[in-house]
């Protein structure tokens, strides 16, 4: 089961912890707010993603189950 | 012309619109007949009404153009899963925070029973026992009209459900669906993070159907005259008539009802033309898209036609900009207003729109540093999809399209500073309460 990242933009206060922990998927904009790559995470990044979510002081980073329909290739 | 004399023709919604005041219940019933489906002993229920809406192909008139039958189906299904007694709630949205739109308040002022009829039918379709009319607190005549209409209906037996009014504070985002739910639940009129969507969990945690008030007015007519009648106007994908608010350089601005898919050119002619030669047309309001004046003869007022231009009619808004006014100054002023209209909750919206507004003002003043255009483009891209609501997305679309259509004027201002027209006159409407409205 894959997971994906999402940010709650109302809760986010631009602490930037998430981008420190998961730069593979999270960069910061000019004001320090995260720009999130919302594609499903490869399994080797899910542990880091959970660490990033736990590190967020405002609990604004969400690790969600990927419920989107799988695209045919 | 009344619907009786020419059932398919126009006006439909605006038939019998009084020049002053609002149409009373007796006159409304004489014009359109008794409301079907809605009586206390009515046996045809939810399924039949949703089928009717499905056949008619009615889409929402609040901007998103979502098929009403699907929205109703989602609320009804969600209600089916809710504990017994948790019946859905229907909201009629007449909050209309977009300054270039007046259709909802005009409709509510003149023909309140049409909107309430639609709300009663929608409630019937999803099994709701309460209808809430959401009305801009500053729209005095519309509020009075709604109150009078509710009293009138109560005196004549009522509608088998409660009808209440929720006043909504002014503001561009306060009519957004989750903001209305938040407000009705005792919070502020600011958007919240979704999901849960209102149809899943809305007002008082109940499944909530939120419809634009014009959409409900169409429903009131579809229930009476049928889906075939409705489809005699409009396009296959988007049938019926639609209300438009015309403003800016129209000789006769105001609220008009047109066949969906009519040419923009005929609309302009029907509204007395423009006050002076047209520089550009804005479709969809301040979340919308600019078109160069030269393109006007090619434009059809339908989302199917506009989609390839990344444009839509939004809530039915057409603004003409004449050559008498400066598009750069107009863009700077409206962008500043859009930045001020951020609910202040999401960083990318607060900071992004403020930065863009500042950069556009510098461009307009000829005081921008090198690369300002690229910075605005980058910030506009960054604003998209990063708020709890779509305000930053809409603002970015408006700004990007202004920079594109008025590229020449922007380049000229960046080099030479303000032009003669900069402070001559403003045509893009802003609320009278904004200090930017009077800054001509």
Answer yes or no: are the C-beta atoms of B95 and B315 closer than 8 Å: no
Q: Can you list the positions of beta strands (E) in B88-215?
A: 89-94, 130-136, 162-168, 208-212
Q: CA end-to-end span of chain B, whole Å?
A: 41
Answer yes or no: are the C-beta atoms of B164 and B123 closer than 8 Å: no
Nearest in space to B113 (alpha carbons), one of B138, B92, B128, B97: B92
Place of tokens 């002053």: B20
Nearest to B345 among A10, A29, A30 (CB): A10
Nearest to A9 among B347, B355, B382 (CB): B347
Q: Can you list the positions of beta strands (E) in B8-108?
A: 89-94
pLDDT in tens, A19-28: 999 999 999 9
CB pair distance less than 8 Å for A12 and B192: no
Q: Can you list the positions of beta strands (E) in B95-185?
A: 130-136, 162-168
Domains recognised in chain A with CATH numbers:
3-65 (3.30.70.20)
For chains A and B, count residue pairs whose Cβ atoms are closer than 8 Å: 39
Nearest in space to B194 (alpha carbons), one of B390, B396, B349, B338: B390
Chain A's closest residue to B194, CA to CA, is A8
Q: How far apart are CA B15 and CA B46, in angstroms?
A: 28
Give contacts of A29 with chain B, Cβ < 8 Å. Answer: 348, 352, 382
Give the 3-state DSSP-derived string for B219-233, with helices as H, strands as E and coil as C: HHHHHHHCHHHHHCC
Tokens of B286: 């301040």
Cis preceding-peptide flag for B195 (omega within 30 of 0):
yes
| Ranges of chain B whose pLDDT falls below 70 | 1-8, 39-45, 85, 438-440
- Give the dihedral sign, CA B44/B47/B49/B54: negative
Report DSSP state, residue B259: E
Strand A26-28 and strand A34-36: pairing?
A: antiparallel
B287 close to A (CB below 8 A): no
pLDDT of B45 reads 65
CB pair distance less than 8 Å for B386 and A31: no
Residues of A near B (Cβ–Cβ under 8 Å) read: 8-14, 29-33, 35
Instruction: List phi, psi (to 5°) of B179.
Output: -70, -40
| Chain B, window 176-215: residues with a beta carbon less than 8 angstroms from a chain A beta carbon | 192-193
CA distance A38 to chain B (A): 11
Nearest to A35 among B349, B382, B388 (CB): B382
Domains recognised in chain B with CATH numbers:
25-171+211-231 (3.40.50.11540), 241-322 (3.10.20.600), 327-416 (1.20.1440.230)
**Cα-atom radius of gyration of chain A, to the nearest Å?**
12
CB pair distance less than 8 Å for A31 and B346: no
Interface test with A, best of B192, B386, B389, B390 (most A CBs within 10 A): B386
B391 close to A (CB below 8 A): no
The size of chain B, in residues, is: 440
Instruction: List phi, psi (to 5°) of B437.
Output: -65, -35
pLDDT of B172 reads 95
Angle ∠(B219,B220,B224) on CA atoms, nearest 5: 105
Give contacts of A30 with chain B, Cβ < 8 Å. Answer: 351, 355, 379, 382
CB pair distance less than 8 Å for A12 and B352: no
Nearest in space to B198 (alpha carbons), one of B182, B212, B187: B182
CB pair distance less than 8 Å for A12 and B347: yes
Alpha carbon B297 to its chain centroid, in Å, reads 25
CA distance B351 to chain A (A): 7
pLDDT of B82 reads 72
Q: How far apart are CA B297 and CA B126, in angstroms?
A: 43
Place of tokens 């109150």: B147
CB pair distance less than 8 Å for A30 and B351: yes
Interface test with B, best of A18, A28, A31, A38 (most B CBs within 10 A): A31
B162 close to A (CB below 8 A): no
pLDDT of B363 reads 96
Q: How far apart are CA B209 and CA B112, in angstroms?
A: 19
Half-sphere exposure of A69 (CA within 13 A, CB side): 3
Q: How far apart are CA B397 and CA B401, in angstroms?
A: 6
Give contacts of B348 with chain A, Cβ < 8 Å. Answer: 9, 29, 31, 33
Tokens of B438: 């009077």
CA distance B36 to chain A (A): 41
């Amino acid at each position: 089961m894959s997971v994906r990242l999402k940010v709650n933009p109302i809760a986010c206060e631009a602490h930037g912890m998430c981008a420190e922990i998961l730069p593979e998927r999270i960069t910061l904009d000019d004001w320090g707010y995260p720009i999130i790559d919302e594609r499903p995470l490869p399994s080797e990044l899910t542990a880091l993603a959970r660490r990033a979510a736990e590190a967020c002081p405002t609990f604004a980073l969400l690790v969600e189950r990927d419920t989107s329909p799988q695209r045919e290739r | 012309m009344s619907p009786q004399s020419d059932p398919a023709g126009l006006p439909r919604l605006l038939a019998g619109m009084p020049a002053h005041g609002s149409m009373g219940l007796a006159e409304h019933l004489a014009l359109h007949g008794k409301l079907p489906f809605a009586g206390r002993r009515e046996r045809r229920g939810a399924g039949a009404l949703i089928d009717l809406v499905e056949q008619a192909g009615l889409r929402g008139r609040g901007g998103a153009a979502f098929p009403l039958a699907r929205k109703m189906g989602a609320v009804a299904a969600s209600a089916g899963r809710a504990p017994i007694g948790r019946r859905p709630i229907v909201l009629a949205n007449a909050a209309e925070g977009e300054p270039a739109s007046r259709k909802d308040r005009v409709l509510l002022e003149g023909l309140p029973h049409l909107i309430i009829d639609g709300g009663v039918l929608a409630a019937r379709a999803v099994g709701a026992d309460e209808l809430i009319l959401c009305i801009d607190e500053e729209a005095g005549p519309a509020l009075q009209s709604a109150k009078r209409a509710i009293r009138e209906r109560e005196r004549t037996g009522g509608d088998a459900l409660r009808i209440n009014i929720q006043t909504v504070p002014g503001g561009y985002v306060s009519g957004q669906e989750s903001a209305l739910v938040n407000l009705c639940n005792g919070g502020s009129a600011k958007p919240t993070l979704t999901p849960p969507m209102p149809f899943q969990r809305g007002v008082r945690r109940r499944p909530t159907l939120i419809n634009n008030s014009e959409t409900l007015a169409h429903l009131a007519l579809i229930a009476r005259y049928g889906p075939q009648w409705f489809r005699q106007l409009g396009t296959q994908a988007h049938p019926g008539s639609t209300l438009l608010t015309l403003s800016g350089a129209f000789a006769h601005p105001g609220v008009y009802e047109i066949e969906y898919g009519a040419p923009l050119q005929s609309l302009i002619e029907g509204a007395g033309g423009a006050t002076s030669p047209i520089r550009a047309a804005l479709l969809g309001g301040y979340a919308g898209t600019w078109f160069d004046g030269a393109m006007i003869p090619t434009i059809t007022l339908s989302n199917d036609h506009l989609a390839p231009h990344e444009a839509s009619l939004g809530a039915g808004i057409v603004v003409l900009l004449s050559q008498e006014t400066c598009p750069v100054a107009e863009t700077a002023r409206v962008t500043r207003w859009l930045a001020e209209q951020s609910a202040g909750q999401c960083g990318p919206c607060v900071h992004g729109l403020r930065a863009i507004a500042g950069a556009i003002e510098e461009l307009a003043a000829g005081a921008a540093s090198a690369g300002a255009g690229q910075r605005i483009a980058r910030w506009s891209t960054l604003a998209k999809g990063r708020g709890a609501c779509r305000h930053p997305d809409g603002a970015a679309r408006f700004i990007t399209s202004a920079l594109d259509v008025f590229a020449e004027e922007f380049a000229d201002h960046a080099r030479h500073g303000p032009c003669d027209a900069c402070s001559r006159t403003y045509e893009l409407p802003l609320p009278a309460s904004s200090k930017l409205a009077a800054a001509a």
